């Protein structure tokens, strides 16, 4: 399974999964249709599935036009997003599995950003190969999504599920927010040398217009304060609160910037 990153709108990413043996493709969170159609034509592939993580327009905006071009494609989304995702016909819950080509993905129910948010995790099929996590707006590189429909406790539980995945997991998140997220992170986790080093690398990468996605989950665990709510440096910066209160204070502080 090859994964292609497609830029869309101002800072969105769409991900196209391609099985070169069967020439089938799936798309994750198509913000708009045209760049997806263009990539499918370039590959000579047929779209068979749309994997949506949540209902926001910048993640489902291309569904209807893609279904017009590929009416047999199946639209997947969270069970609690019923009626909110255009064309959805499969309603997924935590622990379900979905198939693409010869790969299976585990479905994680990760509410917080929205009440129905899900993520798709494709475990590695070979030793030392990476897993692939498509997490929408739950986990960002260096950050996490705003809490539009969920609570801090829900988001901590959701991020805990993601944090439990192997370090050797590529994180394919929905937006290019890394630089701004790390600008905030270094003001919180001040003694984190790994974070400072990563921030410097990302500054260089973005100055050269390089994408920072996918990110490695192992790096996120070391440098993303929204995965480090229980670490001493982050807790101290937030007033030595309990884990949920630490996360809530961290998210609130990020929201006002």
- How does pLDDT run across 108-163, given as a tens digit for each residue? 999 999 999 999 999 999 888 999 999 999 999 999 999 999 999 999 999 999 99
CATH 3.40.630.40 fits 2-255, yes or no: no
Position 2 scores a pLDDT of: 96
Would you state the torsion angle of the CA atoms of residues 131, 134, 139, 141, taken in this order, to the nearest 10 degrees? 70
- Token pair of 253, please? 């502080």
165 touches 132 (CB < 8 A): no
User: What is the pTM (predicted TM-score) of this model?
Assistant: 0.96
137 is in an annotated binding site: yes
- The mean per-residue pLDDT over the stretch 68-92 comes to 97
137 included as an active-site residue? yes
Q: Which residues of 105-128 are buried (b: 16+ CB within 10 A; e: fewer)?
A: bbbbbbbbbbbbbbbbbbbeeeee
In this structure, the strands spanning 143-144 and 169-173 are unpaired
113 included as an active-site residue? yes
Secondary structure element (H or E) that encloses residue 156, with its range? helix 152-163
Question: Which of 96, 245, 230 lies closest to 163 in space, CA to CA?
Answer: 230
Position 74 scores a pLDDT of: 98
68 included as an active-site residue? no
Position 44 scores a pLDDT of: 97
54 is in an annotated binding site: yes
- The mean per-residue pLDDT over the stretch 46-51 comes to 98
Which of 76-85, 204-213, 235-244 bottoms out in mean pLDDT, i.e. has the lowest? 235-244
Residues 6+ apart with CB under 8 A from 142: 177, 178, 181, 182, 185, 198, 202, 215, 220, 223, 224
167 included as an active-site residue? no
175 included as an active-site residue? yes
Position 108 scores a pLDDT of: 98
Position 128 scores a pLDDT of: 87
Instruction: Name the active-site residue from 55, 59, 81, 96.
Output: 59
Position 129 scores a pLDDT of: 92
- The mean per-residue pLDDT over the stretch 216-230 comes to 97
pLDDT higher than 90, residue 54: yes
18 included as an active-site residue? no
Instruction: Name the active-site residue from 18, 55, 113, 117.
Output: 113
pLDDT higher than 90, residue 240: no
Residues 6+ apart with CB under 8 A from 44: 23
pLDDT higher than 80, residue 257: no
Position 134 scores a pLDDT of: 98
The mean pLDDT value of the chain amounts to: 96
| Separation CA 177–CA 231 (nearest Å) | 23
Q: What percent of the chain is modeled with pLDDT above 90?
A: 96
| Separation CA 122–CA 134 (nearest Å) | 9
11 is in an annotated binding site: no
55 is in an annotated binding site: no
Position 142 scores a pLDDT of: 97
Instruction: Name the active-site residue from 18, 55, 58, 81.
Output: 58
54 included as an active-site residue? yes
């Amino acid at each position: 399974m090859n994964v292609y990153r497609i830029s869309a709108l101002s800072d969105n990413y769409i991900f196209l999964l391609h099985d070169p043996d069967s020439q089938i493709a799936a798309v994750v969170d198509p913000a708009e249709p045209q760049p997806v159609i263009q990539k499918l034509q370039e590959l000579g592939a047929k779209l068979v599935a749309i994997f949506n993580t949540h209902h926001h327009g910048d993640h489902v905006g291309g569904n209807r036009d893609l279904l017009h071009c590929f009416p047999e494609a199946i639209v997947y989304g969270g069970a609690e997003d019923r009626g909110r995702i255009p064309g959805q016909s499969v309603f997924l819950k935590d622990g379900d599995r979905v198939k693409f080509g010869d790969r299976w993905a585990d479905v994680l129910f990760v509410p917080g950003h929205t009440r129905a948010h899900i993520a798709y995790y494709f475990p590695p099929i070979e030793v030392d190969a990476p897993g692939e996590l498509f997490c929408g707006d739950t986990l960002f590189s260096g950050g996490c999504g705003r809490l539009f429909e969920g609570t801090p406790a829900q988001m901590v539980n959701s991020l805990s599920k993601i944090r439990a995945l192997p370090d050797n997991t590529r994180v394919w998140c929905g937006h290019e927010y890394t630089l701004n997220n790390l600008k905030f992170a270094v003001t919180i986790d001040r003694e984190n040398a790994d974070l400072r080093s990563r921030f410097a690398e990302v500054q260089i990468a973005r100055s050269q217009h390089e994408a920072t996605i996918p990110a490695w989950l192992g790096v996120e665990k070391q440098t993303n304060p929204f995965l480090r709510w229980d670490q001493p440096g982050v807790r101290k910066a937030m007033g030595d609160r309990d884990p949920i209160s630490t996360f809530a204070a961290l998210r609130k502080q990020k929201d006002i910037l």
